[in-house]
């Protein structure tokens, strides 16, 4: 098979994967909308059956949905889900983006579904960068896959902890990730095996605030100063690992894995660089934009953002998540 045919085969498979994810996301939104309609209809029927009929204020008193308030749903994290309701201070453009399908997707708590109904990764990015999504989308909320964490954007609350699962992908330390990230990692590492590039392991996934204290202190000891440690390790409260959406990968063979520092230049690393976006991952620190991120090259450090945004990121030619969202550089701590 020629290289051109192989490339076209990979592109076709990428399109099929993205289309499957889109269908799942749309199904999530549809199910959420149907549930909301049933709740509202039930509340209206119940209030009509029990109300006196003489007081219009009695209708729907017992239902938040019937009153027009945002229904309360389980948050995907211990942090409350951002509201999808526009505020009176928003512009007309905000109001055009936030209600309707986008609001329903936000209620579902599914980040990928929100991006899909917004029109895909590039359309979602444009809405955020232009300010049209200000009424319902925040880049600093840890419940969502699009959150930006860097040296000037700490995680709030400081003790945030996501829902976690253990991926099927081999991890020397038994690392965990957020559920969507774990599923995407497993799909990606299986695809790498099928492509014949070798096994990939998960060296590090979720780290609590306390674990990041230890990791950062270890880098200070190894490098001799905070300034040197800051080039390769995040300070506690500023690490993407605390989100459960970051993965440090290693190349493995016959059940033995190298270190993260051995990853660069391996067939696994080269395959990841070319294909990670298909599975919703981006290489967060390439080393070409240290002046923006403040970090040296880390080809092993991947950040999960979802297939739609990852595809828009790669196809748009962005080198940093900061540039992707039009945010200021964050080379150092305030």
Q: Which residues are tagged catalytic?
A: 298
CA distances from 168 to 187, 247, 251 (A): 10, 14, 16
For 165, list phi and psi in degrees, rounded to 5: -140, 165
Angle, to 10 degrees, between the axis of helix 121-130 and the axis of helix 307-315?
80
The interaxial angle of helices 3-50 and 307-315, nearest 10 deg, is 140
| Interatomic CA distance for residues 97 and 87, integer angstroms | 13
Q: Residue 318 carries which DSSP code?
A: -
With CA atoms as reference, report the closest residue to 260 among 190, 167, 171, 162.
171
Query: Residues near 35 by Cβ (< 8 Å), separated by ≥ 6?
Result: none
Read off the tokens for 241.
């690992």
Between CA 265 and CA 270 the distance in angstroms is 7
Please provide residue 304's backbone torsions phi and psi, each rounded to the nearest 5 degrees. Answer: -85, 125
| Residue 197 · residue 271 · CB < 8 Å | yes
């Amino acid at each position: 098979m020629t290289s051109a045919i192989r490339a076209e085969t990979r592109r076709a498979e990428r399109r099929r994967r993205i289309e499957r994810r889109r269908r799942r996301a749309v199904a999530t939104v549809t199910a959420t909308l149907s549930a909301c309609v049933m709740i509202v209809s039930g509340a209206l029927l119940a209030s009509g059956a029990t109300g006196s009929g003489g007081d219009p204020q009695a209708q729907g008193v017992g239902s938040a949905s019937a009153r027009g308030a945002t229904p309360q749903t389980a948050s995907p994290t211990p942090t409350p889900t951002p509201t999808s309701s526009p505020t009176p201070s928003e512009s007309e453009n905000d109001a055009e983006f936030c209600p309707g399908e986008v609001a329903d997707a936000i209620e579902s708590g599914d980040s990928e579904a929100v991006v899909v109904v917004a029109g895909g990764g590039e359309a979602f990015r444009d809405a955020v960068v232009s300010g049209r999504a200000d009424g319902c989308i925040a880049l600093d909320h840890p419940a969502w896959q699009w959150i930006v964490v860097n040296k000037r954007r700490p995680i709030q609350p400081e003790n945030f902890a996501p829902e976690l699962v253990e991926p099927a992908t081999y991890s020397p330390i038994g690392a965990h990730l957020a559920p969507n990230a774990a599923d995407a990692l497993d799909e990606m590492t299986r695809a790498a095996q099928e492509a014949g590039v070798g096994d990939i392991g998960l060296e590090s996934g979720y780290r609590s605030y306390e674990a990041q204290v230890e990791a950062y202190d270890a880098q200070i000891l190894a490098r001799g100063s905070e300034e040197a440690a800051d080039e390769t390790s995040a300070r506690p409260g500023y690490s993407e690992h605390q989100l459960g959406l970051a993965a440090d990968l290693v190349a493995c063979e016959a059940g033995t894995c190298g270190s993260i520092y051995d990853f660069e230049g391996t067939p696994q690393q080269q395959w990841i660089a070319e294909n990670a976006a298909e599975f919703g991952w981006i290489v967060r620190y390439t080393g070409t934009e240290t002046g923006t991120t403040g970090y040296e090259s880390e080809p092993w450090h991947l950040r999960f953002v979802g297939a739609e945004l990852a595809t828009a990121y790669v196809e748009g030619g962005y080198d940093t998540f900061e540039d992707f969202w039009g945010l200021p550089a964050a080379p150092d701590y305030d």
